[in-house]
A and B are shown apart, each in its own frame.
Chain A
Protein backbone atom coordinates (compact mmCIF):
# COMPACT_ATOMS: atom_id res chain seq x y z
CA UNK A 1 0.00 0.00 0.00
CA UNK A 2 2.86 2.38 0.77
CA UNK A 3 3.64 2.41 -2.94
CA UNK A 4 0.45 4.36 -3.53
CA UNK A 5 0.87 6.80 -0.68
CA UNK A 6 1.90 9.58 -3.02
CA UNK A 7 -0.93 8.97 -5.43
CA UNK A 8 -4.30 10.63 -5.41
CA UNK A 9 -5.25 10.11 -1.78
CA UNK A 10 -1.65 10.56 -0.76
CA UNK A 11 -1.56 14.27 -1.44
CA UNK A 12 -4.39 14.84 0.96
CA UNK A 13 -2.61 12.76 3.55
CA UNK A 14 0.69 14.55 3.23
CA UNK A 15 -0.91 17.78 4.32
CA UNK A 16 -3.16 15.99 6.83
CA UNK A 17 -1.26 13.08 8.33
CA UNK A 18 -4.18 12.24 10.62
CA UNK A 19 -6.39 11.27 7.71
CA UNK A 20 -6.61 7.53 6.99
CA UNK A 21 -6.40 6.36 3.37
CA UNK A 22 -9.43 7.07 1.19
CA UNK A 23 -10.93 9.56 3.66
CA UNK A 24 -11.91 13.20 3.18
CA UNK A 25 -12.18 15.90 5.81
CA UNK A 26 -15.54 17.29 6.77
CA UNK A 27 -16.43 20.09 9.14
CA UNK A 28 -20.03 18.87 9.36
CA UNK A 29 -21.25 15.94 11.35
CA UNK A 30 -23.28 13.92 8.83
CA UNK A 31 -26.20 11.92 10.20
CA UNK A 32 -26.39 8.32 9.04
CA UNK A 33 -29.19 6.20 10.42
CA UNK A 34 -30.34 2.74 9.55
CA UNK A 35 -33.75 3.53 10.97
CA UNK A 36 -35.89 5.98 12.86
CA UNK A 37 -34.32 7.84 15.77
CA UNK A 38 -35.59 6.14 18.91
CA UNK A 39 -37.03 8.41 21.58
CA UNK A 40 -35.26 7.45 24.77
CA UNK A 41 -36.24 9.00 28.06
CA UNK A 42 -33.27 9.00 30.43
CA UNK A 43 -35.73 8.04 33.19
CA UNK A 44 -36.11 4.73 31.40
CA UNK A 45 -32.62 4.42 29.96
CA UNK A 46 -30.56 1.47 31.09
CA UNK A 47 -27.19 0.06 30.12
CA UNK A 48 -26.39 -3.60 30.80
CA UNK A 49 -23.35 -5.83 30.40
CA UNK A 50 -24.20 -9.56 30.27
CA UNK A 51 -21.72 -12.40 30.60
CA UNK A 52 -21.67 -16.13 29.90
CA UNK A 53 -22.70 -16.97 33.48
CA UNK A 54 -25.97 -15.10 33.04
CA UNK A 55 -24.71 -12.37 35.35
CA UNK A 56 -25.73 -8.90 34.34
CA UNK A 57 -24.36 -5.54 35.43
CA UNK A 58 -26.79 -2.68 34.91
CA UNK A 59 -26.70 1.07 35.32
CA UNK A 60 -29.66 3.39 35.15
CA UNK A 61 -29.04 6.96 34.00
CA UNK A 62 -28.27 8.35 37.46
CA UNK A 63 -25.90 5.50 38.32
CA UNK A 64 -24.20 5.84 34.95
CA UNK A 65 -23.77 9.59 35.28
CA UNK A 66 -22.39 9.16 38.79
CA UNK A 67 -19.43 7.23 37.36
CA UNK A 68 -16.20 9.12 36.69
CA UNK A 69 -16.23 10.61 33.21
CA UNK A 70 -13.47 11.61 30.83
CA UNK A 71 -13.12 14.34 28.26
CA UNK A 72 -12.13 12.70 24.97
CA UNK A 73 -10.57 14.67 22.12
CA UNK A 74 -10.34 12.47 19.08
CA UNK A 75 -10.68 12.07 15.33
CA UNK A 76 -13.55 10.04 13.90
CA UNK A 77 -13.64 8.19 10.60
CA UNK A 78 -16.80 7.07 8.82
CA UNK A 79 -16.72 4.23 6.32
CA UNK A 80 -18.64 6.47 3.90
CA UNK A 81 -15.31 8.32 3.61
CA UNK A 82 -15.74 11.37 5.79
CA UNK A 83 -13.43 12.04 8.68
CA UNK A 84 -13.83 14.69 11.30
CA UNK A 85 -10.72 15.70 13.20
CA UNK A 86 -10.45 17.03 16.74
CA UNK A 87 -13.94 16.20 17.97
CA UNK A 88 -14.71 16.60 21.64
CA UNK A 89 -16.75 14.18 23.72
CA UNK A 90 -17.47 13.35 27.33
CA UNK A 91 -18.18 9.82 28.41
CA UNK A 92 -17.52 6.95 30.76
CA UNK A 93 -14.58 4.71 29.90
CA UNK A 94 -15.46 1.09 29.20
CA UNK A 95 -12.60 0.26 31.59
CA UNK A 96 -14.75 1.73 34.35
CA UNK A 97 -17.85 -0.17 33.27
CA UNK A 98 -15.95 -3.46 33.00
CA UNK A 99 -14.25 -3.07 36.40
CA UNK A 100 -16.49 -5.60 38.09
CA UNK A 101 -17.35 -7.72 35.09
CA UNK A 102 -15.78 -11.14 34.93
CA UNK A 103 -15.80 -13.04 31.67
CA UNK A 104 -13.53 -15.46 29.88
CA UNK A 105 -15.00 -14.50 26.50
CA UNK A 106 -13.03 -12.36 24.07
CA UNK A 107 -15.80 -10.80 21.96
CA UNK A 108 -18.70 -8.47 22.54
CA UNK A 109 -21.96 -7.78 20.76
CA UNK A 110 -23.14 -4.23 21.31
CA UNK A 111 -26.92 -3.76 21.27
CA UNK A 112 -28.85 -0.54 20.79
CA UNK A 113 -32.34 0.81 21.27
CA UNK A 114 -33.96 0.30 17.89
CA UNK A 115 -32.36 -3.12 17.39
CA UNK A 116 -28.96 -2.23 15.89
CA UNK A 117 -26.04 -4.51 16.73
CA UNK A 118 -22.30 -4.42 16.10
CA UNK A 119 -19.56 -6.87 17.07
CA UNK A 120 -16.25 -5.99 18.71
CA UNK A 121 -13.24 -7.71 20.21
CA UNK A 122 -13.21 -7.03 23.95
CA UNK A 123 -9.62 -5.79 23.78
CA UNK A 124 -10.76 -2.94 21.53
CA UNK A 125 -13.06 -1.72 24.27
CA UNK A 126 -10.47 -1.69 27.05
CA UNK A 127 -7.27 0.18 27.96
CA UNK A 128 -8.60 3.65 27.30
CA UNK A 129 -9.78 2.96 23.76
CA UNK A 130 -13.57 3.18 24.13
CA UNK A 131 -16.27 5.08 25.98
CA UNK A 132 -20.00 5.37 26.42
CA UNK A 133 -20.30 9.01 25.39
CA UNK A 134 -23.10 11.33 26.44
CA UNK A 135 -21.78 14.77 25.48
CA UNK A 136 -20.55 16.13 22.18
CA UNK A 137 -18.89 19.57 22.02
CA UNK A 138 -19.94 20.28 25.60
CA UNK A 139 -23.64 19.65 24.98
CA UNK A 140 -25.90 16.70 25.67
CA UNK A 141 -25.53 14.25 22.83
CA UNK A 142 -28.25 14.94 20.29
CA UNK A 143 -30.64 12.01 19.61
CA UNK A 144 -29.71 12.13 15.91
CA UNK A 145 -26.12 11.46 16.89
CA UNK A 146 -27.02 8.66 19.25
CA UNK A 147 -28.13 10.44 22.42
CA UNK A 148 -28.65 10.04 25.23
CA UNK A 149 -25.57 7.83 24.98
CA UNK A 150 -23.58 6.03 22.31
CA UNK A 151 -20.46 3.96 22.02
CA UNK A 152 -17.34 5.89 21.07
CA UNK A 153 -14.57 3.71 19.61
CA UNK A 154 -12.58 6.20 17.57
CA UNK A 155 -9.88 3.82 16.33
CA UNK A 156 -12.45 1.85 14.31
CA UNK A 157 -14.80 3.03 11.55
CA UNK A 158 -17.66 4.92 13.11
CA UNK A 159 -20.40 2.35 12.42
CA UNK A 160 -18.78 0.43 15.32
CA UNK A 161 -19.58 3.36 17.62
CA UNK A 162 -23.18 2.26 18.01
CA UNK A 163 -25.73 5.00 18.59
CA UNK A 164 -28.35 4.61 21.34
CA UNK A 165 -26.35 1.79 22.89
CA UNK A 166 -28.07 -0.05 25.71
CA UNK A 167 -26.00 -3.11 26.33
CA UNK A 168 -23.04 -5.36 25.69
CA UNK A 169 -23.28 -9.13 25.57
CA UNK A 170 -20.10 -11.17 25.93
CA UNK A 171 -19.55 -13.70 23.11
CA UNK A 172 -17.25 -16.70 22.90
CA UNK A 173 -16.69 -16.24 19.16
CA UNK A 174 -16.71 -13.22 16.90
CA UNK A 175 -20.20 -13.16 15.38
CA UNK A 176 -21.24 -10.47 12.92
CA UNK A 177 -23.54 -7.60 13.89
CA UNK A 178 -26.00 -5.77 11.66
CA UNK A 179 -23.71 -4.21 9.04
CA UNK A 180 -21.11 -6.93 9.44
CA UNK A 181 -23.70 -9.51 8.32
CA UNK A 182 -24.70 -7.39 5.39
CA UNK A 183 -21.48 -6.44 3.66
CA UNK A 184 -19.21 -4.55 6.04
CA UNK A 185 -15.90 -5.74 7.45
CA UNK A 186 -15.98 -7.63 10.73
CA UNK A 187 -13.27 -5.45 12.35
CA UNK A 188 -13.23 -2.10 10.49
CA UNK A 189 -9.77 -0.57 10.93
CA UNK A 190 -9.73 2.73 8.99
CA UNK A 191 -5.94 2.71 8.67
CA UNK A 192 -6.15 -0.66 6.89
CA UNK A 193 -9.22 0.46 4.89
CA UNK A 194 -11.20 -2.51 6.21
CA UNK A 195 -14.49 -1.30 4.76
CA UNK A 196 -16.16 -4.33 3.23
CA UNK A 197 -16.02 -8.11 3.39
Chain B
Protein backbone atom coordinates (compact mmCIF):
# COMPACT_ATOMS: atom_id res chain seq x y z
CA UNK B 1 0.00 0.00 0.00
CA UNK B 2 1.37 3.36 -0.91
CA UNK B 3 -0.91 5.01 1.57
CA UNK B 4 -0.66 8.60 2.59
CA UNK B 5 -1.75 10.65 5.56
CA UNK B 6 -2.99 14.23 5.68
CA UNK B 7 -0.88 17.31 6.16
CA UNK B 8 -1.29 17.41 9.92
CA UNK B 9 1.63 14.98 9.91
CA UNK B 10 3.80 17.94 8.93
CA UNK B 11 3.26 19.78 12.20
CA UNK B 12 6.22 18.13 13.94
CA UNK B 13 8.97 18.40 11.32
CA UNK B 14 7.93 21.92 10.24
CA UNK B 15 7.72 23.26 13.79
CA UNK B 16 11.48 22.71 13.98
CA UNK B 17 11.94 25.20 11.17
CA UNK B 18 9.02 27.62 11.38
CA UNK B 19 7.96 29.05 14.68
CA UNK B 20 4.31 29.09 13.81
CA UNK B 21 1.77 26.38 12.99
CA UNK B 22 2.47 25.66 9.33
CA UNK B 23 -0.40 23.22 8.92
CA UNK B 24 -2.75 26.21 8.59
CA UNK B 25 -0.50 27.87 6.00
CA UNK B 26 -2.22 28.17 2.64
CA UNK B 27 -0.29 26.73 -0.32
CA UNK B 28 -0.94 27.39 -3.97
CA UNK B 29 -0.04 24.49 -6.29
CA UNK B 30 2.14 25.57 -9.19
CA UNK B 31 0.72 22.80 -11.36
CA UNK B 32 -3.04 23.19 -11.05
CA UNK B 33 -3.58 26.31 -8.98
CA UNK B 34 -5.35 24.50 -6.13
CA UNK B 35 -5.11 26.65 -3.05
CA UNK B 36 -5.60 25.03 0.31
CA UNK B 37 -4.08 24.56 3.75
CA UNK B 38 -1.08 22.30 4.18
CA UNK B 39 -3.15 20.23 6.59
CA UNK B 40 -5.39 19.09 3.78
CA UNK B 41 -2.65 18.06 1.35
CA UNK B 42 -1.44 14.45 1.01
CA UNK B 43 1.73 13.36 2.76
CA UNK B 44 3.71 10.28 1.73
CA UNK B 45 6.49 8.96 3.92
CA UNK B 46 9.39 7.55 1.98
CA UNK B 47 13.04 8.47 2.52
CA UNK B 48 11.71 11.80 3.54
CA UNK B 49 8.25 13.31 3.54
CA UNK B 50 6.65 14.10 0.21
CA UNK B 51 3.72 16.50 0.21
CA UNK B 52 1.52 16.14 -2.86
CA UNK B 53 -1.28 18.32 -4.14
CA UNK B 54 -4.61 16.82 -3.15
CA UNK B 55 -6.09 17.70 -6.50
CA UNK B 56 -3.36 16.98 -9.09
CA UNK B 57 -0.83 14.75 -7.23
CA UNK B 58 2.11 17.00 -8.10
CA UNK B 59 4.95 17.16 -5.59
CA UNK B 60 4.55 20.38 -3.61
CA UNK B 61 7.15 20.03 -0.88
CA UNK B 62 9.77 17.53 0.22
CA UNK B 63 11.22 17.36 3.71
CA UNK B 64 14.37 15.38 4.47
CA UNK B 65 15.54 15.23 8.07
CA UNK B 66 19.22 14.45 8.41
CA UNK B 67 21.03 14.26 11.74
CA UNK B 68 22.33 17.80 11.22
CA UNK B 69 19.62 19.59 9.27
CA UNK B 70 16.13 19.71 7.89
CA UNK B 71 16.16 20.07 4.10
CA UNK B 72 13.01 21.63 2.68
CA UNK B 73 12.32 21.86 -1.04
CA UNK B 74 9.33 23.51 -2.65
CA UNK B 75 9.35 22.15 -6.19
CA UNK B 76 5.64 22.66 -6.87
CA UNK B 77 4.48 25.55 -4.72
CA UNK B 78 3.89 28.96 -6.23
CA UNK B 79 3.07 30.66 -2.94
CA UNK B 80 2.69 29.99 0.76
CA UNK B 81 0.70 32.36 2.90
CA UNK B 82 0.93 32.26 6.66
CA UNK B 83 -1.43 34.04 9.02
CA UNK B 84 0.32 36.37 11.41
CA UNK B 85 -0.01 35.32 15.00
CA UNK B 86 -0.91 37.74 17.77
CA UNK B 87 2.26 39.52 18.86
CA UNK B 88 3.65 37.69 21.83
CA UNK B 89 3.68 39.60 25.08
Residues of A at the B interface (CB closer than 8 Å) are: 31-37, 78-80, 115, 144, 159, 179, 181-184, 195-197
Contacts and interface: CB of A to CB of B under 8 A. Distances in A.
B11 to A, nearest CB: 20
Dominant SS among interface residues on chain B: loop
B47 A80 contact: yes
B35 to A, nearest CB: 21
Contacts of A195: 66
Contact of B2 (A37, A159, A182): A37
B1 A34 contact: no
Dominant SS among interface residues on chain A: loop
9 contacts: A32-B45, A33-B44, A34-B47, A37-B2, A179-B47, A179-B48, A179-B62, A183-B66, A195-B66
Contacts of B44: 33-35
Contacts of B46: 32-34, 159
B5 interface: no
Q: Which of B4, B45, B46, B67 has the most CB of A within 10 A?
A: B46
B65 to A, nearest CB: 8
A7 to B, nearest CB: 16
B64 interface: yes
Contact of B1 (A144, A179, A183): A144
Contacts of B64: 179, 182-184, 196
Contacts of A32: 45-47
Nearest to B66: A196
B32 interface: no
A187 to B, nearest CB: 15
B57 A35 contact: yes
B50 A34 contact: yes
B59 interface: yes
Nearest to A115: B59
Contacts of B71: 182-183, 196-197
Contacts of B45: 32
Contacts of B75: 181-182
B47 A184 contact: yes
The 4 closest A-B CB pairs, nearest first, are A183-B64, A183-B71, A33-B2, A196-B66
A3 B46 CA distance: 32
Contacts of A183: 48, 62, 64, 66, 71, 73
Interface in B70-85: 71, 73, 75
A144 B46 CA distance: 12
A103 to B, nearest CB: 28
A196 to B, nearest CB: 4
